[in-house]
A and B are shown apart, each in its own frame.
Chain A
Amino acid sequence: MTRARPKVAPPSLAKAPTGIQGLDEVTGGGLPKGRVTLLCGSAGCGKSLLAMEFLVHGAVRYGEPGVCMDFEETEEKLRANVASLGFDLRDLAKRKKLLVDYVAVERHEIAETGEYNLEGLFIRLGHAVKAIKAKRVVLDSIEALFSGLTDSTTLRAELRRLFQWLEEHRLTAVVTGEAGEHTLTRHGLEEYIADCVIALDHRVTEQISTRRLRIVKYRGTSHGTDEYPFLIDREGVSVVPLSSLALAHKALTDRVSTGIPALDEMMEGKGFFRGSSVLVSGTAGTGKSSLAANFASAACARGEECLYFAFEESPSQILRNMRSVGLNLERWVRKRLLHFHAMRPTSSGLEGHLATIHKMIAKVRPRVVVIDPITNLISASGTYDVKSMLMRLVDFLKVEQITSMFTNLTFAGDPHEGTAAGVSSLMDAWIVVRDSKPNGRPRRELYVLKSRGMAHSREPRELIVSERGLELGAVLTDHTPGTAGASSSAVRSAK
């Protein structure tokens, strides 16, 4: 036998974290350290911002100073652009953490009179890198050189030399490139970059814009080929690391109340499983939001934080409406247990909404999430696969062990088949509320259509919504008259 050797872990690629929410997750830790990454996309897709965030976070959070050679914007302009995100470039420069060098390439003032190289650029970059002991470099966008210099043979040779230089100096670099018509970048920069290529995309469909990020290649790292939605807001870029790894989450056995004792009773007396996803579907005015609000309130009563996404009503409207059915939600808002986030469904596409949802969840870290209603999210989506996007959201919630409730509006005569895009198959529990008019007298009915992993009642009950709150009546049969409101005989005589 040979002598036992210490086990050597396979050499894993060193990564430089970007500090951008979600991006480090989808890249398995960040960009390849000491290598060049190409970031490409059309104008306005957010590549400069993403590159700048990579530098700033590197300098501030990871102790890696950075140099930005900006071929497009002057230092002043760039400073103003990122100031809105709370980055103070002047201060960073003073503390020797980040330098910006604006490189002006203007064709009209350059006449070419014989052989040359780009040593000037190398010297400038080297000088800046040395001055602050930089570990990161951004070249944004180096393609500007192509418009300033006509000798493309020299230029290409020099670019190759530049990327080699960056690697020799163990700099983690991001190079941006404008998207070409049939190629990733207009001037084929991707031919020079072997390690990592990330493409950004900004599409507008039906007046709704959606931003997506795709890892085209990442040598030595397994990565999803999915497109990840991302957001640009006041806090910069955040990528939604929704991936379809799926079904790896741990199923929890503890239970959470539905907020309605009688409904808990229908589910082994205990309510939903923690970490499960619950769908509440029903026609208009059947009390879906009230069910969701009771569920949220029960979570707050346990001292858990709840994040409530409202796509139909403003928070104050929800608070008022719930007061009328005997539910005081204000106290939870005041105790900072209940967080509302209201969005217009048309304000962005499904991906944009998912990005926001994801970001808010990462910020609030709730135990319970309500999305009311999910219908509007679906209607806001373009052509992209709604179901797969929702599946990724549901997976994410499960992995985070967040119990979630989605309400879904259906239309009369089509109580659950109308549940769009088959989202119901993603759900662990499904509660249906509906109107019915047995004997001509309207009433609301509720039943548990499914609830995975538990014995549950399947019999419909009357759902009574009053100023005392939500209650369930006795088990209904087709012949059972309702218990609330006018007596059935009164309705009959009125006819």
Chain B
Amino acid sequence: MKKSSPRKRRPAKTRRKDFYRLRLYIAGQTPNSIAAIANLKKICEDKLRGKYRIEVVDLLEKPQLAKGDQIIAIPTLVRRLPPPVKKIIGNLSKTENVIVGLDLQPLR
């Protein structure tokens, strides 16, 4: 697979390619879900300020959405943009793993 890491992009295109669209799947307000939302917001503010959008999907309300993104575990975070799609699971408490898993680069 061709890897389109933002790091290798030319500066002119960086702004668009660096935009992160993230979708967090939860199932009700469980401790893990609440923790995941909080952890995600903090990491994004630290690393992606102004360049991200988070969408929270509660599968208890929309169970039909679980199939599309192949959700098994809860919580699951899907990086929908930039490509490729990446998927990480857990309550996002291990910040390092989240940064590696989402392939985030620190703000310049």
Chain A positions near chain B (C-beta within 8 angstroms): 101, 103-105, 109-121, 123-124, 126-127, 145, 148-149
B60's closest neighbor in chain A, by CB?
A123
B63: chain A residues at CB < 8 Å are 123-124, 126-127
For the complex, count residues of B whose C-beta is within 8 A of A.
Answer: 34
CB of B68, distance to nearest CB on chain A (Å): 11
From B60, B66, B91, B98, residue with most partner A Cβ within 10 Å? B66
Identify A118's interface contact among B35, B72, B86, B92, CB under 8 A. Answer: B72
Identify B97's interface contact among A113, A117, A126, A145, CB under 8 A. Answer: A113
Identify A113's interface contact among B60, B66, B67, B91, CB under 8 A. Answer: B91
Identify B72's interface contact among A112, A121, A126, CB under 8 A. Answer: A121
B73 touches A111 (CB 8 A): no
B88 touches A110 (CB 8 A): yes
Identify A112's interface contact among B27, B70, B90, CB under 8 A. Answer: B90
Listed A/B pairs (11) with beta-carbon separation below 8 Å: A103-B72, A111-B89, A112-B88, A113-B97, A114-B36, A116-B76, A116-B91, A117-B32, A119-B73, A120-B76, A123-B27
CB of B80, distance to nearest CB on chain A (Å): 13
From A104, A119, A149, residue with most partner B Cβ within 10 Å? A119
Chain B positions near chain A (C-beta within 8 angstroms): 25, 27, 32, 35-36, 39, 59-60, 63-64, 66-67, 70-77, 85-94, 97-98, 100-101
Main secondary structure of the interface of A (DSSP, over half): mixed
A110: chain B residues at CB < 8 Å are 73, 87-89
A309 to B37, CA, bound (A): 70
B87: chain A residues at CB < 8 Å are 109-111
From A112, A115, A127, A148, residue with most partner B Cβ within 10 Å? A115
B70 touches A116 (CB 8 A): no
From B89, B92, B93, residue with most partner A Cβ within 10 Å? B89
B90 touches A104 (CB 8 A): no
A111 to B73, CA, bound (A): 11
A101: chain B residues at CB < 8 Å are 67
A105: chain B residues at CB < 8 Å are 72
A104: chain B residues at CB < 8 Å are 70
CB of B17, distance to nearest CB on chain A (Å): 20
B66: chain A residues at CB < 8 Å are 120, 123-124, 127
A120 touches B90 (CB 8 A): no
User: What is the number of contacts between chain A and chain B, taking CB atoms within 8 Å?
Assistant: 98
Identify A116's interface contact among B64, B67, B89, B101, CB under 8 A. Answer: B89
A110 to B25, CA, bound (A): 14
Contact of A114 with B70 at beta-carbon distance under 8 Å, contacts A123-B27, A123-B60, A123-B63 already known: no
A101's closest neighbor in chain B, by CB?
B67
B32 touches A116 (CB 8 A): yes
A115 touches B72 (CB 8 A): no
A113 touches B92 (CB 8 A): yes
A113 touches B88 (CB 8 A): yes
A111: chain B residues at CB < 8 Å are 87-89, 97-98, 100-101
A113 to B85, CA, bound (A): 17
B35: chain A residues at CB < 8 Å are 114
Identify A127's interface contact among B64, B85, B98, CB under 8 A. Answer: B64
A114 touches B94 (CB 8 A): yes
B70's closest neighbor in chain A, by CB?
A104
A114 to B98, CA, bound (A): 9
A115 to B85, CA, bound (A): 22
A114: chain B residues at CB < 8 Å are 32, 35-36, 39, 90-94, 97
A148 to B92, CA, bound (A): 18
B69's closest neighbor in chain A, by CB?
A120
A149: chain B residues at CB < 8 Å are 73, 89
CB of B34, distance to nearest CB on chain A (Å): 12
A115: chain B residues at CB < 8 Å are 32, 90-91, 93
B36: chain A residues at CB < 8 Å are 114
A130's closest neighbor in chain B, by CB?
B63
A110 to B74, CA, bound (A): 12
A116 to B94, CA, bound (A): 12
A120 touches B86 (CB 8 A): no
A-B contacts besides A109-B85, A114-B93, A116-B32, 18 pairs, CB < 8 Å: A109-B86, A111-B89, A113-B89, A113-B93, A113-B97, A114-B91, A115-B90, A115-B93, A116-B90, A116-B91, A117-B73, A119-B74, A121-B72, A121-B73, A123-B74, A124-B66, A145-B72, A149-B73
A127 to B59, CA, bound (A): 10
